[in-house]
Amino acid sequence: MNITIVGLGLIGGSLAKAISSRTSHIVFGIDRDPKVLDEALADGAIRHDIGLGALEKSNLVILALYPAQCIKFMEQNASRIRKGAVVTDVCGVKKSICDALTPMAKKFGFCFVGGHPMAGREQYGFEAAKQDLFDGASYVLTPSDGCDDGVERIRELALSIGCGRVVLTTPEDHDRRIAYTSQLPHVLAAAYVNSPTCPMHVGYSAGSYLDVSRVARINENLWPELFIQNRDALVVEIDFLIQNLTRMRQDVASKDQDALTAALRNSRLRKETYG
């Protein structure tokens, strides 16, 4: 396949490196920063830099942009996509993207398959990209009707670059689950380190501090958009968390050891059962 990757940041750059080093597909890159394109060419992450013309030559286009940019890029360039090609994105929210891009796909005769490779790092940009970023990761797809071939094409690609599994679901289901598994941990890590006590932790922190706070090193230009686009599901999850914290707080304050033991037994069993 000819594959165009639009946006060579952490995710797009890692996809480019993984595809170019682990498959025989030919990767074209599009990025607004010419320096990034030069770097990507120099290290072999992309084969060609021919600008927007790459869209016409590709069987698969991967949009690795922030959600609003992604929609804007397609509003400007959907007409350049080859008929019958497959377009996918990598955004952490799916409903808003699929709602915007599925009608464009119908109009211009390509297939759109929403995608979310569940991998990341606390750094960003092409310089943080790694060809092994997706090793063992889940790659979630939210296909629209009539895109079975496109799904197969992306599934094979995902597995060939190291993903552990490809999961199919609806955009709504994806967004609801991701609110819990990805957005909420980022919210709570940020809330945790924003405590006034945080600067006093040095010398007193063990693994639990480090683990819980790791993703507090967050890209503040990306995540607010993801949170807001998925606000209904995320607010529900934050409310569950606040409820559980409030209950444990009351049990601590009232010295209710039995209630705390029951809550911690439940959390241990869940962790042992569900991983």
In the list 32, 107, 156, 252, the residue contacting a second copy (rule: CB under 8 A) is 252
Cβ neighbors of 130 (< 8 A, separation 6 or more) are: 14, 17, 121
Number of residues that bind a second copy (CB under 8 A): 93
In the list 47, 130, 155, 231, the residue contacting a second copy (rule: CB under 8 A) is 231
Our finding on whether 248 is near a second copy (CB under 8 A) is: yes
Shortest reach from residue 260's CB to a second copy, in Å: 4
28 pairs with which residues across the strands?
4, 48
Q: Which is nearer to a second copy, 31 or 175 (CB)?
A: 175
Interacting positions 68-127 with a second copy (CB under 8 A): 118-120, 122
Cα(165)–Cα(209) distance, rounded to whole angstroms? 30
Shortest reach from residue 116's CB to a second copy, in Å: 9
Our finding on whether 167 is near a second copy (CB under 8 A) is: yes
Shortest reach from residue 1's CB to a second copy, in Å: 26
Cα(173)–Cα(151) distance, rounded to whole angstroms? 17
Shortest reach from residue 42's CB to a second copy, in Å: 29
Question: E strands within 155-206?
Answer: 165-168
- For 43, 109, 113, 116, 275, the CA distances from 94, given in Å and listed in that order, are 31, 21, 10, 8, 25
Sheet holding 165-168, edge to edge: 26-30, 2-6, 60-63, 86-89, 111-117, 138-143, 165-168
Q: What are the tokens at 249?
A: 């707080």
Our finding on whether 270 is near a second copy (CB under 8 A) is: yes
**Interface with a second copy by CB under 8 A: which range of 51-59, 70-78, 106-114, 134-142?**
134-142
Shortest reach from residue 152's CB to a second copy, in Å: 19
27 pairs with which residues across the strands?
3
Shortest reach from residue 247's CB to a second copy, in Å: 8
Instruction: Return the exposure string of 206-230: e unless at least 16 CB atoms fall within 10 Å of the residue's CB, then b.
Output: eeeeeeebebbebbeebbebbbebb
Q: Which is nearer to a second copy, 107 or 214 (CB)?
A: 214
Q: What are the tokens at 157?
A: 């690609």
Our finding on whether 193 is near a second copy (CB under 8 A) is: yes
Task: Confirm if 32 and 9 have CB atoms less than 8 A apart.
Answer: no
**Interface with a second copy by CB under 8 A: which range of 35-43, 77-85, 97-105, 244-252?**
244-252
Q: Which is nearer to a second copy, 85 or 166 (CB)?
A: 166
Provide the residue count of the chain. 275
Our finding on whether 227 is near a second copy (CB under 8 A) is: yes
Q: Which is nearer to a second copy, 13 or 29 (CB)?
A: 13
Our finding on whether 205 is near a second copy (CB under 8 A) is: yes
